[in-house]
Amino acid sequence: MTQYIVRRVIQAIPVLFLISVVSFLLMLSAPGGPANQFNQNPHISAAQINKWLQDWCLVQNPTPLDTVREYLGWLGVWNCSGGSFLSVHGLPNFLPAFLGGGTNGILHGDFGYSIETGQPVLGMIYQRLPTTIILMGTAFVLWATIAIIAGVIAAVRRYSFFDQSVTFVSYVLYSLPTFWLGLILIFIFGEALRWFPVQGMVNVRTSAAPFATQAYWQSFFADPIPNIVDIASHLVLPVVTLIAVSIAGDSRFVRSAMLDSLHQDYVRTARAKGIRERQVIIRHAFRNALLPILTNLALEIAFLFSGAIVTETVFSLPGMGRLYYDGVENSDYFLLMGILLIGSVLVVLMNLLADIAYAFADPRIRYD
Amino acid sequence: MAIPTDPTLAGVAAAPPADVAKADVEVALESLSQWQLAWRRFRKHRMAMVGLGFFAFMILVAIFGPIIMPFDPTNIPGTTNPAGYPPSLAHLFGTDTVGRDVFAMVVNGARISVAIGGFSMLIAGFIGVVVGAVAGYFGGWVDNVLMRVVDTFFAIPLLFVILVAAKFFGQGQVISLIVIFGVLSWPLIARLVRAQFLSLREADFVEAARAVGVRDGRITFRHILPNAIGPVIVAMTLIMASNIVLEAFVSYLNFGISANQTSWGNALANAQSALGLGNWWWAFFPGMAIAVTVMSINFVGDGLRDALDPRTRL
């Protein structure tokens, strides 16, 4: 077991490294490049620009060696202001600051500054996090629940009317472009029926302050109920949009995992022992089908992230996806690198956790 | 997965002589090639046939539509109605807010959307097969390095990368978007091909080929690959479908195809702003074109899954 976990963690390290290289190369090889972008922004003073350029080893027309240095500086392995691998304390720069390492680079939690606003990237992401977490969390819980229930019933009543309808609806939903489904829902439930708001996270007329600001949270906790209702009504359409397409694929996955499990010998044994059918399905068949289902759900977190961009842009929700979209629009390199990196690292960690949990839960998994 | 325990189905046209000799004896009853058998199975799948028919129709629209019904997005006729004209005989799918015909948009958009989906699928298939074959056949550190790269692709949310790549490197060009979508969507294929290779390289007929001194490259491409091709083709249909949707989204955000060209995503680009005016048709019809095309591709993929699996029998 320990050996397996260590192996999986070691496997994750090159992936994390490659993710950082990809995020970096994608941005730095883009036309313009951060150094030029900084210069074009009138909101930032020349002194600020020079300080950042120096802190991040950025140069106007980098040679390949400069690029490597920029990457290592961005990572935090290279001490840009000192120009060496050692920090001001004379110790390796990649160590945490309290152990005598440097303070620059993503390893030390420094994701740089937004080229557009001049604010620290991490702070901007932090401010947008609640929206994305609420959206993705709600979507994930509903999505998993519905997919599992629909898939299990479809498997138990195989070839019934319910099963066939689930299959048919899955096919249709699976083929819909998420953003287009959002547009259609906006028209039907937002414009024609006027049941739900179609923009933003809160009602801008009634709420005390923009969502997720300090003033907003103060008014939120002063009187939570109407605020929760407000957020919930704004979330209905985005959440439906986000999960409709994913549920389709997953309910089919649950159905086939459940069918596999229902044909196993232990299910037949349980039935032969005279256990009630309901118990056989829940206790014996479903519990064994749960493992592949959970792994599959964990793997789909990456898709949920992609889906968050789609829904947040279509519904103008102030989340990380929308922030990313704005970043692409403004060529805000450090912001994009930060979001891309944090998102991907989260996905790696989730998959790692899922694998480890799987190994703990399934005694059959042994590795060499 | 599909280990050909039955040698009659192991040999495609390019099978080694030993296999063909054996296959001839056993298939003599029917004397059908593997592809003929697959086509027989495919024909039985009704939805797959419907999907194939519709997809063929879409290809025709993509090729001839722009010739029969030219559409110039820069030509703006204007309207008397701020929301555009609703669907009528003159404008089958209505018009957008500036009076451009949505039907012509859909017909003309087919070419770029289907081309991006189709050609990026071919690129992804090619890279994926080569990477997966190399990793699966050689194993060891080659496999390890390539699979970590694949893991990386799976960890980074694809849409994030595609948005940036399309905006920074796409330049609104169809060709560059095809390359971007192709280069970013191969890992699924590579993983599949590798898994097939891992099981097939231990198979007896590969062992036999190796024993008589066949070179690595030839074993890979003539003995193993034809047997691994089924799941790969199915995965390629999935990639084509998802790339059509991705293109639509990227162009909808104005990061994809430039505004003086027409794709289905491009047609949807400003449709959201018209929803508030009661104009639903502008958003509805291009999206339906995407949805129905994607659905037909998915049905074809489903039919292929059954048809190309040698374990399914007639």
Mean pLDDT of B41-57: 89
Asked if the model's pLDDT at residue B167 lies above 70, the reply is yes
Q: Which residue has the higher pLDDT, B167 or B244?
A: B244
Among the residue ranges A60-64, A236-240, B33-37, B176-180, the one predicted with the least confidence is: A60-64
Q: Is B268 exposed, middle or buried (0-12, 13-18, 19+ CB in 10 A)?
A: buried
CB contact (8 A) between residue A18 and residue B295: no
Mean pLDDT of B239-251: 91
- The number of C-alpha atoms within 13 Å of A172 and in the hemisphere containing its C-beta is 7
* Cβ atoms within 10 Å, residue A326: 16
Go through A96-114 and write b for each residue having 16 or more CB atoms within 10 A of its CB, e for each that does not.
eeeeebbbbbbbbebbbbb
To the nearest whole percent, how much of chain B has pLDDT over 90? 23
Q: Which residue of B has its CA nearest to A186?
A: B275
Cα–Cα distance for residue pair A75/A56, rounded to 1 Å:
10
Mean pLDDT of B51-80: 85
Mean pLDDT of B27-37: 67
Q: Which residue of B has its CA nearest to A348?
A: B155
Q: Are B107 and B69 in contact (CB under 8 A)?
A: yes
> How high is the pLDDT of residue B20?
47
> How high is the pLDDT of residue A367?
53
**Residue written as token pair 């620290």:** A120
> How high is the pLDDT of residue B313?
53
Q: Which has the closest alpha carbon to B194: B225, B236, B156, B240?
A: B225
Distance of CA A220 to the CA centre of its chain: 25
CB contact (8 A) between residue B287 and residue A348: no
* Cβ atoms within 10 Å, residue A264: 14
Using DSSP, state whether A113 is helix, strand or coil: strand
> How high is the pLDDT of residue A290?
84
Would you state the structure tokens that stand for residue B13, as one six-digit string?
């046209």
Q: Which has the closest alpha carbon to B264: B103, B74, B53?
A: B103
Sequence ranges of the domains in chain A: 20-108, 126-361
For residue B268, list chain A residues with Cβ-Cβ distance below 8 A.
179-180, 183
Asked if the model's pLDDT at residue A13 lies above 90, the reply is no
Cα–Cα distance for residue pair B160/B154, rounded to 1 Å:
12
Closest approach of B292 to chain A, Cα-based (Å):
7
CB contact (8 A) between residue A340 and residue B161: yes
CB contact (8 A) between residue B155 and residue A19: yes
For residue A185, list chain B residues with Cβ-Cβ distance below 8 A.
none
For residue A347, list chain B residues with Cβ-Cβ distance below 8 A.
155-157
Of A22, A190, A329, nearest to B152 by CB-CB distance is A22
Inform me whether the C-beta atom of residue B148 falls under 8 Å from chain A C-beta atoms: yes
Contact pairs from chain A to chain B, CB under 8 Å: 130
> How high is the pLDDT of residue A250?
84
Q: Is B206 exposed, middle or buried (0-12, 13-18, 19+ CB in 10 A)?
A: buried
pLDDT band at A32; cut points 50, 70, 90: low
Cα–Cα distance for residue pair A247/A142, rounded to 1 Å:
9
User: Taken in order B270, A338, A136, A236, is the CA torsion positive or negative?
Assistant: negative
Sequence ranges of the domains in chain B: 37-62+116-307
pLDDT in tens, A196-216: 888 888 877 777 777 877 788
> How high is the pLDDT of residue B248?
92
> How high is the pLDDT of residue A31?
65
CB contact (8 A) between residue A183 and residue B253: no
Average pLDDT of the residues of chain A: 82
* Domain A126-361 grouped into CATH 3.90.1300.10: no
pLDDT band at B9; cut points 50, 70, 90: very low
For residue A309, list chain B residues with Cβ-Cβ distance below 8 A.
157, 159-160, 163
Q: Are A120 and A97 in contact (CB under 8 A)?
A: no
Q: Which residue has the higher pLDDT, A271 or B14?
A: A271
Cα–Cα distance for residue pair A320/A123, rounded to 1 Å:
12
> How high is the pLDDT of residue B5?
42
* C-alpha triplet A356, A361, A365: angle, nearest 5°: 75
> How high is the pLDDT of residue A368?
45
CB contact (8 A) between residue B284 and residue A18: no
Q: Which has the closest alpha carbon to A124: A319, A344, A333, A312?
A: A319
CB within 8 Å of A86: residues ≥ 6 apart = A79, A92, A93
Which DSSP category does B45 fall into?
-
> From the candidates B45, B47, B160, B300, which should be mutated to test the interface with A, based on the most A CB atoms within 10 A?
B160
Of B154, B169, B255, nearest to A328 by CB-CB distance is B255
Return the bridge partners of B101, or none.
B95
Which DSSP category does B86 fall into?
P
Q: Which residue of A has its CA nearest to B294?
A: A175
Among the residue ranges A352-356, B77-81, B187-191, B279-283, the one predicted with the least confidence is: B77-81
Q: Which has the closest alpha carbon to A294: A366, A359, A222?
A: A359
Among the residue ranges A49-58, A72-81, A275-284, the one predicted with the least confidence is: A49-58
State the CATH architecture for B37-62+116-307: Orthogonal Bundle (1.10)
Among the residue ranges A247-251, A323-327, B233-237, the one predicted with the least confidence is: A247-251
A118: left (phi over 0), alpha (psi -120 to 50) or beta: left
> How high is the pLDDT of residue B51?
92
Among the residue ranges A111-120, A143-152, B15-24, B83-92, the one predicted with the least confidence is: B15-24
> How high is the pLDDT of residue B72?
79
Phi and psi (nearest 5°) for A111? -95, 5
Q: What ipTM, to 2 d.p.? A: 0.84
Q: Which has the closest alpha carbon to A132: B253, B255, B160?
A: B160
Mean pLDDT of B155-178: 86
Phi and psi (nearest 5°) for B136? -70, -35
> How high is the pLDDT of residue B182?
92
Question: What secondary structure does DSSP assign to A208-277, as a single string?
Answer: SSSTTSHHHHHHHHHSHHHHHHHHHHHHHHHHHHHHHHHHHHHHHHHHHHHHHHHTSHHHHHHHHTT--H
Asked if the model's pLDDT at residue B41 lies above 50, the reply is yes
CB contact (8 A) between residue B155 and residue A15: yes
For residue A179, list chain B residues with Cβ-Cβ distance below 8 A.
248-249, 252, 268
Q: Are B264 and B106 in contact (CB under 8 A)?
A: yes
To the nearest whole percent, how much of chain A has pLDDT over 70? 93
pLDDT band at B15; cut points 50, 70, 90: very low
For residue B291, list chain A residues with Cβ-Cβ distance below 8 A.
172, 175-177, 180
pTM value? 0.85
Of B152, B168, B248, nearest to A18 by CB-CB distance is B152
Among the residue ranges A20-24, A150-154, A184-188, the one predicted with the least confidence is: A20-24
Closest approach of A16 to chain B, Cα-based (Å):
8
pLDDT band at A35; cut points 50, 70, 90: low
Phi and psi (nearest 5°) for A34? -60, -40
Distances, alpha carbon B22 to alpha carbons A236, B28, B29, B34, B175, in Å: 62, 10, 13, 14, 46
pLDDT in tens, A77-135: 888 777 777 777 777 777 777 777 777 778 888 888 887 787 888 888 888 888 888 89
Mean pLDDT of A137-144: 90
- Name the B residues in 261-280 with CB < 8 Å from any A CB: 268, 271-272, 275-276, 278, 280
- The number of C-alpha atoms within 13 Å of B243 and in the hemisphere containing its C-beta is 31
CB contact (8 A) between residue A340 and residue B164: yes
Q: Which residue has the higher pLDDT, A357 or B149?
A: B149
Inform me whether the C-beta atom of residue B183 falls under 8 Å from chain A C-beta atoms: no
Asked if the model's pLDDT at residue B57 lies above 90, the reply is yes
* Cβ atoms within 10 Å, residue A3: 10
How large is the greatest C-alpha to C-alpha distance in chain A, in angstroms? Answer: 81
Would you state the structure tokens that stand for residue B122, as one six-digit string?
């071919």
CB contact (8 A) between residue B280 and residue A343: no
Cα-Cα-Cα-Cα torsion A82, A83, A85, A91, nearest 10 degrees, comes to -20
Q: At what angle do helices B102-138 and B187-200 cross, to 10 degrees?
A: 40
